[in-house]
Structure 1
Amino acid sequence: MPPVMRRGVGLPASREATRPSDGEAAPDRVRGDARTVVALGGAVLFTPTALALSDRSFTVLGLPSALVYVLAVWLVGIVLTRSLARRRPDAR
């Protein structure tokens, strides 16, 4: 069984100062949770049920609505993934 570490014991002073309090979520954990939501949300939005809901009889600039839906979901997924993958300037 691994030893139980008390809060702040064994950590360098620089890490102790930057630890969030018990009520706050760590920024890396929140970012990791957001990446999980984007990945699962993208998978759900590409299921046959969601694609069937987007398949309507109208066009957008001459393109079928299903194609516009797929491209829009794809683009939003890329933009969200890129924004979540950016490194913070202070994380070097």
Structure 2
Amino acid sequence: MGKTYKTINAVKVTGKVLKFLAEQKKPVSGQEVSRALDIANGTVMCHLATLIEIGFVELVGEHYKLGMGAALLWAKYKSQVESTLANCRDTLATLDA
């Protein structure tokens, strides 16, 4: 039987913050994030500060939006999917030959 690992609540909160920012059409305040997610403002601000530091969120005045780090993750994922697709096409071509 495989080992069971615990989930980390802080990572779940970070995911919620990132998903919320991804859904916004314009930068939002930390208080807006806090209210929308029903998470303590101090907790949200700590997550936002960390996400800024690692480039996943950008500060625009006193508001927050997704940063280039989040975009780079999407681009890497897309590249992996395209590579998998190319490999599948190559395999199909081999099978058809």
TM-score (normalizing by structure 1): 0.34
Whichever of the two has the greater Rg, that structure is 1
Bigger helix fraction: 2
